[in-house]
């Protein structure tokens, strides 16, 4: 059998293992299958290459350029993913486990690519939030902008999801415009390396955007500084060792940590055995114990049920666990493969011995279990093991020790407060789930336990067919948790991109802020367009182009006509005395929607032209009532442009309606699609 040489990808070159290389063994046979690591890598040079070559190339691109790059990369990986699947079996993963890892990772890149195009600008500066009015007359304003850090992101990843764990960090990092040095866990780095080789072969990323270290990190961390970010996933112990390094503390290096977690799942007090929800609870617990042989940071470690239903839960769950086929992951009938290594298996067995002091093993015997198609003693196999802890309030280890394998403990609760207190004993987790159909239980869980958990997952008969699973972190939602879970937050859509950017408060005049954010800010000078802006194509329109329309008087006849025509005969428009008795109105007033319609009538250019559609209004405010006899005019300004397809882009217009005294009566943003 050939021994795979797992190379590092440093400064644009593949570097074979050398001094200090470590063996990687098959999780199935225990045989050495690969070697990885090279102490002579130029770690400082890798950082410099990222900062000086990868960073500038990425920062020269816009968010949309980088989002398109991510989409192309996801398509490429999807087309060539079999290379990763083939290698993953020897990490103990079944095809279903690798689907979560490989297809899940590629799917995450697709989501970031799409969010980057939809939610970020086609620009190099991201404006975060609204303009802040800092002065009475609006000549001095504030806003927040985000720009990419000018260092490197160092991703230190856990062994359990070599592809997803890498891609879920790479996608937001690259979208932000920051180069990455990835250090996968050695035990499964052959799979991560296959992914990085594909990334390299694709030629899609600029040079220096991604590098990879197979094996140890040498003196890399001695060279990190304030513009670098460390994004760590692994055990709490390693995180503590790394984040407390002197240079990391001194330079206030960002350190995002995703650590281990004693996640809980609570059977709601409203759920009876024999119902769809009870079955759902058992099914989720079984899945979380057996997928990836329980080596999931989000796996359910503590199963919390009403005291009088503990017996029913143990019975139903044990029946399922005992039917789980354990064996060679290449065999399609195998439900649970092996742990990643014999040392990982031994670590789990050590924890199991600790648990035995405070809980009873009620299902699964590590000394006697069937393994199909493989040698149980040579490989890293274990059966799923279910404990019952009769006194969860007195127990310690089941609440603070993570057995990173197919191990979980059932415990009973007296009432909901007790259940939440048990869940919170984990001292901070990535996810807690509650199976309940009761909105009251869900709200009480959020108030009582939200502060201790990064994600709360509620499921019941209404959502179970479409729900994504207790253990699935989604790119749209934040992933991370307080306390022992590391205190980090990854993903969460564009929120995850922000970890790799600096948010800067910018203060200045409206003109300065418009120029900085490439978005027109109210109060900034307007540009006069050479023709009506609705006759100008997307590419020709300039930010700040403004037209001011003629005035139009609003009469009582208009108001009555509009009321009859639409059926909106609300008293404020129809009844003088009733309207005058209302604290907001001097008497009868025009409908707000009438004003919007008149505004459109004032500013549109009626002939066919580049404006294709009106797709919405944002931030509509009616600021002052319009009474019969008032006249209104409109100021229409190009606020922001965002390309959408090759054929059209979104133009966001600022629309301001004023009365005859130049007082603001209404304001909003109008969204249109305009031909390129
Ligand atoms: P680990 O032993 O802490 O290792 C994590 C990573 O840190 C590996 O890449 C490891 O590299 C590296 N590392 C260890 N010592 C280092 C050092 N001195 N300098 C630089 N890098 C160092 O954790 P693991 O056993 O791989 O992963 C299992 C743990 O990860 C579990 O506790 C699990 O809960 C947690 N986890 C958490 C999440 C999450 O999102 N919260 C996700 C997955 C896993 P080597 O492999 O080369 O030693």
Q: Which of 297, 358, 489, 545 is catalytic?
A: 297
Listed residues 228, 259, 290: the one ending a domain:
259
* pLDDT(1) > 80: no
Instruction: Please state the domain count of the chain.
Output: 3
Residue 13 lies in a domain: no
Determine if ligand 1 sits within 6 Å of the CB of residue 156.
yes
User: Which atom of ligand 1 approaches the CA of 344 most closely?
Assistant: 25
Closest residue to atom 35 of ligand 1, CA basis: 234
Same-domain status, 252 and 369: no
Listed residues 244, 259, 274: the one ending a domain:
259
Same-domain status, 254 and 277: no
Contact 168, 160 (CB under 8 A): no
User: Which atom of ligand 1 approaches the CA of 402 most closely?
Assistant: 32
Task: Report the CATH number that the domain containing residue 570 is assigned in CATH.
Answer: 3.10.129.10
Q: From ligand 1's centre to the CA of 259, what distance in Å?
A: 8
- Closest C-alpha among 234, 130, 238 to residue 185: 234
Q: Any catalytic annotation for residue 146?
A: no
Q: What is the pLDDT of residue 260?
A: 87
* Average pLDDT across the chain, whole number: 96
Listed residues 477, 505, 529: the one ending a domain:
477
Same-domain status, 215 and 315: no
Residue 361 lies in a domain: yes
Residue 549 lies in a domain: yes
Write out pLDDT tens, residues 11-65.
999 999 998 899 999 999 999 999 998 888 999 999 999 999 999 999 999 999 9
User: Which atom of ligand 1 approaches the CA of 184 most closely?
Assistant: 9
E-assigned strands of 178-219? 180-183, 210-212
* pLDDT(506) > 70: yes
Q: What is the pLDDT of residue 4?
A: 86
Same-domain status, 254 and 267: no
Closest residue to atom 19 of ligand 1, CA basis: 217
Same-domain status, 236 and 284: no
3-state SS, one letter per residue, for 43-99: HHHHHHHHHHHHHHHHHCCCHHHHHHHHHHHHHHHHHCCHHHHHHHHHHCCCHHHHH
Determine if ligand 1 sits within 6 Å of the CB of residue 157.
yes
Closest residue to atom 1 of ligand 1, CA basis: 234
Residue 166 lies in a domain: yes
* pLDDT(500) > 90: yes
Task: Report the CATH number that the domain containing residue 388 is assigned in CATH.
Answer: 3.40.309.10
Same-domain status, 352 and 456: yes
Task: Report the CATH number that the domain containing residue 210 is assigned in CATH.
Answer: 3.40.605.10
% of residues, the chain, pLDDT over 70: 100
Cα separation, 16 vs 7, in Å, equals 4
Buried b (16+ CB within 10 A) or exposed e, 326-336: bbbbebeebbb
Determine if ligand 1 sits within 6 Å of the CB of residue 234.
yes
Q: Please tell me whether residue 421 adopts helix, strand or coil conformation.
A: helix
Q: What are phi and psi of 563, to 5 degrees?
A: -65, -45
Domain of 159, in residue numbers: 43-123+149-259
Indicate the pTM of the whole model.
0.93
Dump the DSSP string for 452-468: GBS-EEEE-TTTTTT--
Same-domain status, 115 and 238: yes
Same-domain status, 604 and 635: yes
What is the arithmetic mean of pLDDT over 636-641?
Answer: 97
Write out pLDDT tens, residues 88-97.
999 999 999 9
* pLDDT(2) > 80: no
| φ/ψ bin of 626: left (φ > 0), alpha (ψ from -120 to 50), beta (otherwise) | beta
Same-domain status, 154 and 191: yes
Residue 20 lies in a domain: no
Angle CA(3)–CA(9)–CA(10) in degrees, nearest 5? 135
User: Which atom of ligand 1 approaches the CA of 295 most closely?
Assistant: 33
What is the arithmetic mean of pLDDT over 636-654?
Answer: 96
Cα separation, 326 vs 27, in Å, equals 13
Same-domain status, 240 and 275: no
Q: Any catalytic annotation for residue 258?
A: yes
Write out pLDDT tens, residues 595-629.
999 999 999 999 999 999 999 999 999 999 999 99
Write out pLDDT tens, residues 441-476.
999 999 999 999 999 999 999 999 999 999 999 999
Residue 397 lies in a domain: yes
What is the arithmetic mean of pLDDT over 507-517?
Answer: 97
Determine if ligand 1 sits within 6 Å of the CB of residue 259.
yes
Closest residue to atom 47 of ligand 1, CA basis: 186
* pLDDT(301) > 70: yes
Same-domain status, 292 and 221: no
- Closest C-alpha among 622, 615, 579, 576 to residue 599: 622
Residue 114 lies in a domain: yes
Q: What is the pLDDT of residue 332?
A: 92
Residue 379 lies in a domain: yes
Q: What is the pLDDT of residue 40?
A: 86
- Closest C-alpha among 232, 255, 48, 238 to residue 152: 48
What is the arithmetic mean of pLDDT over 360-386?
Answer: 94
Same-domain status, 293 and 236: no
Cα separation, 400 vs 78, in Å, equals 39
Q: What is the pLDDT of residue 43?
A: 96
User: Which atom of ligand 1 approaches the CA of 258 most closely?
Assistant: 41
Write out pLDDT tens, residues 267-293.
999 999 999 999 999 999 999 999 999
Cα separation, 449 vs 300, in Å, equals 16
Determine if ligand 1 sits within 6 Å of the CB of residue 183.
yes
- Pocket probe for ligand 1: among 157, 158, 168, 232, the residue whose CB has the most ligand atoms within 8 Å is 158
């Amino acid at each position: 059998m050939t021994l795979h040489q797992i190379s590092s990808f440093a400064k644009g070159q593949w570097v074979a293992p050398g001094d200090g290389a470590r063996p990687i063994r098959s999780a199935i046979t225990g045989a050495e299958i690969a070697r990885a690591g090279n102490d002579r890598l130029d770690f400082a040079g890798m950082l410099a290459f990222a900062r000086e070559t990868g960073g500038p190339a990425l920062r020269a691109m816009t968010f949309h350029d980088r989002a398109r790059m991510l989409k192309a990369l996801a398509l490429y990986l999807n087309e060539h993913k079999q290379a990763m699947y083939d290698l993953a079996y020897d990490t103990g993963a079944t095809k279903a486990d690798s689907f979560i890892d490989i297809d899940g990772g590629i799917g995450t890149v697709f989501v970031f690519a799409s969010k980057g195009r939809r939610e970020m600008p086609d620009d190099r500066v991201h404006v975060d939030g609204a303009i802040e009015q800092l002065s009475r007359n609006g000549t001095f304003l504030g806003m927040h902008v985000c720009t990419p850090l000018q260092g490197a992101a160092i991703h230190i990843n856990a062994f359990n999801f070599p592809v997803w764990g890498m891609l879920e960090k790479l996608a937001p990092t690259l979208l932000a415009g920051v180069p990455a040095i990835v250090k996968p866990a050695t035990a499964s780095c052959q799979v991560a390396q296959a992914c990085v080789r594909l990334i390299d072969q694709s030629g899609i990323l600029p040079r220096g955007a991604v590098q990879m270290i197979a094996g140890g990190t040498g003196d890399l961390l001695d060279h990190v500084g304030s513009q670098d970010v460390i994004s760590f996933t692994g055990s709490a112990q390693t995180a503590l060792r790394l984040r407390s390094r002197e240079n990391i503390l001194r330079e206030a290096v960002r350190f995002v940590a995703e650590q281990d977690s004693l996640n809980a799942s609570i059977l709601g007090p409203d759920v009876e055995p024999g119902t769809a929800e009870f079955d759902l609870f058992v099914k989720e617990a079984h899945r979380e114990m057996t997928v990836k042989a329980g080596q999931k940071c989000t796996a359910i470690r503590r199963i919390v049920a009403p005291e009088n239903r503990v017996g029913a839960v143990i019975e139903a769950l044990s029946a399922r666990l005992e039917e789980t086929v354990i064996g060679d992951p290449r065999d399609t009938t195998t439900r649970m493969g092996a742990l990643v290594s014999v040392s990982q298996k031994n670590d789990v067995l050590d924890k199991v011995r600790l648990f035995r002091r405070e809980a009873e093993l009620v299902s699964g015997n590590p000394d006697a279990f069937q393994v199909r198609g493989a040698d149980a003693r040579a490989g890293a196999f274990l059966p799923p093991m279910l404990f019952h802890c009769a006194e969860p309030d007195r127990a310690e280890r089941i609440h603070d020790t993570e057995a990173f394998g197919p191990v979980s403990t059932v415990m009973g609760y007296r009432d909901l407060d007790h259940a939440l207190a048990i869940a919170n004993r984990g001292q901070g987790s990535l996810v807690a789930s509650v199976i309940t159909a009761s909105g009251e239980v869900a709200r009480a869980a959020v108030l009582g336990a939200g502060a201790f958990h990064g994600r709360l997952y509620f499921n019941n008969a209404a959502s179970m067919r479409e729900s994504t699973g207790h253990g699935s972190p989604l790119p749209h939602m934040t992933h991370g948790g307080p306390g022992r879970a590391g205190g980090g937050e990854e993903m969460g859509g564009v929120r995850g991109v922000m970890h790799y950017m600096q948010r800067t408060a910018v203060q200045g005049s409206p003109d300065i802020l418009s120029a900085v954010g490439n978005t027109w800010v109210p109060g900034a000078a307007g540009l006069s367009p050479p023709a009506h802006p609705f006759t100008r194509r997307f590419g020709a329109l300039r930010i700040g182009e403004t037209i001011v329309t003629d005035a139009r008087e609003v009469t009582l006849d208009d108001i009555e006509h509009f009321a009859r025509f639409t059926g909106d005969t609300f008293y404020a428009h129809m009844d003088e005395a009733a309207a005058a008795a209302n604290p907001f109105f001097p008497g009868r007033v025009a409908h707000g929607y009438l004003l919007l319609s008149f505004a459109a009538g004032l500013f549109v250019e009626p002939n066919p032209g580049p404006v294709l559609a009106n797709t919405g209004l944002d931030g509509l405010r009616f600021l002052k009532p319009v009474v019969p006899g008032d006249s209104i005019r409109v100021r229409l300004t190009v606020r922001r442009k965002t390309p959408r397809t090759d054929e059209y882009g979104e133009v966001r217009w600022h629309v301001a309606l004023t009365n005859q005294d130049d007082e603001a009566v209404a304001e909003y943003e109008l969204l249109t699609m305009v031909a390129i």
